[in-house]
Amino acid sequence: MPGKAAPVAEAAPEGETRFAEHAPEGRLTAQRGLYAGPAPIVSKDLYAELAWGSAVRDRDALTVEPSSKVTGNTYFGRFPASYWQRWTTVTSVTVEAVVSGDGLLSVGASDLQGDARVVNAEQVAGAKARKVTMTASLDKFYDGGALWLDLETEGGQTLRVEQVRWTVDAPEKIRPTAVTICTMNRADDCLKNLQALAADVSSLHTLDAIYVADQGTDLVESRDGFEQVAKDLGDKLHYIKQPNLGGAGGFTRGLYEVAGHTATEHANVLFMDDDVLLEPDLVVRMTAFSNRAANPIIVGGQMLNLLHPNQLHVGAEYARLNTLEPGQPVTHSLSTADLLGVDEQTLKPNRQERRLDAGYNGWWSCLIPYEVVKAIGYPMPFFFQWDDAEYSYRAREYGFPTVTLPGAGVWHADFHWKDWDEWHRYFNLRNSIITAALHSPFNLNLLSRVLLAQLVRYLLGMQYGLSATLIKAVEDFLEGPEVLRDGGVAAMKEIRRIREQYPETKRHKATDVPGIASNDIGIINSAPRPSMQRLVLIKRVVDRVLGRSRFGLGAVPIDEAHWWHIALFDTAVVTDASQEGVRVRTYDKVKMFDLARRGARVIQRLRKEGAGVQEQYKRAMPELTSRENWKRLYEL
């Protein structure tokens, strides 16, 4: 439990009470057995795989034809037993199913190494909508392993199962949960997720409210389907229009509203992005896990790549704070893994058998208990980027770890299809430095070397706008906490203005590049990574200073746009990471020298002044993360 005193005093509840603990109705559903995804682009094999024979897989039911076997040893079919044994007070789980026909139901289990065993089984014959229950102990999974349901028929047998539920003993009281969706000008995406929740709302027993924080100009309420979804969700839906305060301001609004309308501190807020493809069972799985956790913990959902729906982004991640590196897979974590494929080294299926400890969890889906808010305050007004990491690392200092729960997944746009050279890189850099100042040793010599290395790579790569973005981020960090007072609105406008001055920050069609004939642009591929990078770096810097180049003009694929290659060009036409266009990088000696001088100067300032600025942020954090500050930002 928390070992520090709370940095802020939580305000008393305001307005009517919407959230109160309620008595359970029977056993608590921990997850549902589903056999098809929420959209046709999702493979049914993520839910149940056909081992042999044939079967009909529907969303809520499965029919196994004669001489066939279907296994639930899949991403969504597995019950994460290791996590339940480690973090909850539950000692057993029961799988329930309504069964018709003949066949064998068995509960499979795995261990740390992925070796399978059977822990319970029942043969049924002539069943007609008969309820079958089988129980498994949660006692041999501490380091890893999962449970799942297998179904098998022999010749002449047909087996149908439906209403499959994994249930556990309910707590004395159920925590109320509010989903919070932050949205800005993604009205159609947000509406789809509201409709998905409305279609499944009868099964989401622990869901008490849905907050939509709409910060855009293209409003969700303007869509034709909004009136119907509002009717379907009834008094659960709370639609709020507010100033654009980025992801931090949108998600924090859910925490703010729950805190103002709760009669209990035992409440949950579940953050959810507006542009995800939602698996509604995520709500069931995360809230049930939180309801039975031994102590309050942050529960994170996993991200699957939307453009590659079979891929898991990462099993669990952490950040190297002092070197400004988020998104690092923890040891033994799957990373960009094909969930329907096998590990290239072990040749075993890509299953997350080992239990992992996360450093933080992205806010594409993340559940935060109200006890955490009471203990540590609200998120920092970062606008967006690093708000999720900062909050988890702050929570950990007060005794609240983050758990990334396998099988609780949503599909989100693949990160590597987003170009690094965008205005949001300013927030990524600035906020990462603030987070490092708050929660790391903040070794300024190390940090300065990291930033200088980034700057040199950007300059050699003719990314002058990105270099200016880095410089502005460090400058604004050194301004101290005042830069956060408006929640990031002014900084967003200013960094966009700065980047407008640099042509390579703009994207063009490959057939319509200003000043360059399309037919003149041919691909020039990169050499392999240099074995003696330091010597190559020095040579490239000297060549740039002297204005020497090897190629006048060429096209470079995004995965080959390395500094050692781009530095050979006068003009490089580089594919945008989105694959929707190109960026034109052109050598400019004047800009290069100016940015190099400014960058060296501000990084030297960071080395000298950083420790003092660090103390300013630490002193300001209680006020910045207070309810009063967010009330001011929301103009309430």
CB 68 within 8 A of CB 52: yes
Residue 209: which H helix or E strand, with range? strand 207-214
Q: Is position 414 annotated as part of the catalytic site?
A: no
How far apart are alpha carbons 445 and 453 in whole angstroms?
Answer: 12
* 353 three-class SS: coil
Question: CB-based contacts of 423: which residues, under 8 Å, 6+ apart?
Answer: 469, 492, 495, 496, 499
Give the C-alpha separation, 452 to 446, whole Å: 10
Locate the DSSP E strands across 5-115. 28-33, 49-52, 55-57, 61-64, 69-71, 92-110
Q: Which long-range contacts (CB under 8 A, 24 or more apart) does 396-400 make?
A: 396/359, 397/4, 397/439, 398/2, 398/3, 398/4, 398/372, 399/1, 399/2, 399/3, 399/4, 399/295, 399/375, 400/2, 400/296, 400/297, 400/298, 400/369, 400/371, 400/372, 400/375, 400/376
34/43 Cα distance (integer angstroms): 12
How far apart are alpha carbons 576 and 278 in whole angstroms? 28
Cα–Cα distance, 31 to 406 (Å, whole number): 12
Kindly list the distances between the CA atom of residue 531 and the CA atoms of 206, 230, 535, 539, 549, in Å, as whole numbers in the listed order: 56, 60, 9, 14, 21
Interhelix angle 226-233/187-199, nearest 10 degrees? 30
- Residues 26/30/33/34 CA torsion (nearest 10 deg): 120
Burial 268-289 (b: 16+ CB within 10 A, else e): bbbbbbbbbbbbbbbbbbbbbb
The H-or-E segment that residue 452 falls in is helix 444-460
Question: Are 551 and 571 within 8 A, CB to CB?
Answer: no
Q: How many residues comprise the chain? A: 636
> Which pair of tokens denotes residue 264?
């209990």
Catalytic residue among 102, 273, 388, 419: 388
Least Cα distance to 20 among 303, 197, 263 occurs for 263
φ, ψ of residue 408 to 5 degrees: the values are: -100, 90
- Is residue 588 within 8 Å of 456, Cβ to Cβ? no
Is there a contact between 249 and 242 (Cβ–Cβ < 8 Å)? Answer: yes
Q: Which amino acid is at 180?
A: T
Catalytic positions: 388
